[in-house]
Chains A and B, each alone.
Chain A
Amino acid sequence: MTSFLPLVAAVLFSIGAVGVLVRRNAIVILMCIELMLNAVNLTFAAYAYELRSMAGHVFIFFVMTVAAAEAAVGLGIVIAVFRKRRSADVDDVNLMKW
């Protein structure tokens, strides 16, 4: 099982990465980032189990902390942008693109 779960995590991470590139809705992009962070968490847990080490669990704890902070700030930015532009489309927010 521990050799099988990192493969699942790799697929989930790649789906999240493709989602960030393909979707234009800022909220869905944030969700795809959550998807990627969860894939990383799954890898951490699988290796923690395999190596009988609790360090992976502590790392997952920190990843969750960062994910919570990122979601709060990211959604705050989405709301601020939506107020100004009436849109959550990332292509409408390209002033600093190049």
Chain B
Amino acid sequence: MLAVNIIAFLAIFSALMVVFHRNPMVSVVFLIVNLVCIALFFLFLQAQFLFAIQIIVYAGAIMVLFVFVVMLLNLRREEETRPNWKVQRALAFAGGVLLVGALWSALWRRGASAEAFPGGFLDEFGTAEEVGRLLFTDYLFQFEAASVLLVVAMIGAVVLARRKES
């Protein structure tokens, strides 16, 4: 349980650093820390397959994309201050605190009823085998739709980032 608390603290700290650090490159590094923390949570929740996917796809592939773009654009310039900056900032923080309060009160009110769910774990809970079986039986249509989405995103990214011939 102590380990979970430490990881939770680390996850929240790294999330704060992502938002508040001035340098985008440092933000990317802290986002990777955050993703690894979430992957460890998956491990605690018996989601071994998702743990592997989180590390490989998220912390690996997607974050490489972010690192690449941050380095390509080489953004060193500080974000400058705008006239209405302070008001927006204050409103955003107030909204964030309100959001946390609303979500927490909703989660507290949920109470212990869901907690008492009896059944034990199946042996295959969280394995790649079981996720694959579900993807190819109950969620087949959604799986195919996801593959179409990925193709569209791939073509879209190539078209968007292409240098226009003039």
Q: Mark B9-51, 1 if CB is under 8 A from A, else 0.
A: 0011001101100001001100100110010011011110110
In Å, the complex CA distance between A4 and B130 comes to 26
In Å, the complex CA distance between A83 and B95 comes to 34
Q: Is the interface of B mostly helix, strand, loop or mixed?
A: helix
> A10–B100 contact, CB under 8 A?
yes
In Å, the complex CA distance between A75 and B57 comes to 16
> A27–B73 contact, CB under 8 A?
yes
> A3–B4 contact, CB under 8 A?
no
Across the interface, A42 reaches (CB within 8 A) one of B19, B38, B58, B61, namely B38
> A14–B103 contact, CB under 8 A?
yes
In Å, the complex CA distance between A69 and B15 comes to 22
> A22–B89 contact, CB under 8 A?
yes
Chain A residue numbers with a CB within 8 Å of B117 are: 50-52
Across the interface, B75 reaches (CB within 8 A) one of A21, A25, A32, namely A25
> A57–B47 contact, CB under 8 A?
yes
A-B contact pairs, 29 of them (CB 8 A): A1-B1, A1-B44, A3-B107, A4-B8, A5-B8, A7-B103, A10-B99, A13-B99, A14-B97, A14-B103, A15-B16, A27-B69, A27-B75, A28-B18, A34-B62, A46-B41, A50-B115, A52-B120, A54-B131, A57-B49, A60-B47, A64-B58, A68-B150, A71-B62, A73-B153, A77-B160, A79-B72, A79-B73, A88-B75
Residues of B within 8 A of A (CB): 1, 4, 8, 11-12, 15-16, 18-19, 24, 27-28, 31, 34-35, 38, 41-42, 44-47, 49-50, 53-54, 57-58, 61-62, 65-66, 69-70, 72-73, 75, 79, 82, 88-89, 91-93, 95-97, 99-100, 103-104, 107, 112, 114-115, 117, 119-122, 125-126, 130-131, 134-135, 138-139, 142, 146, 149-150, 152-154, 156-161, 163
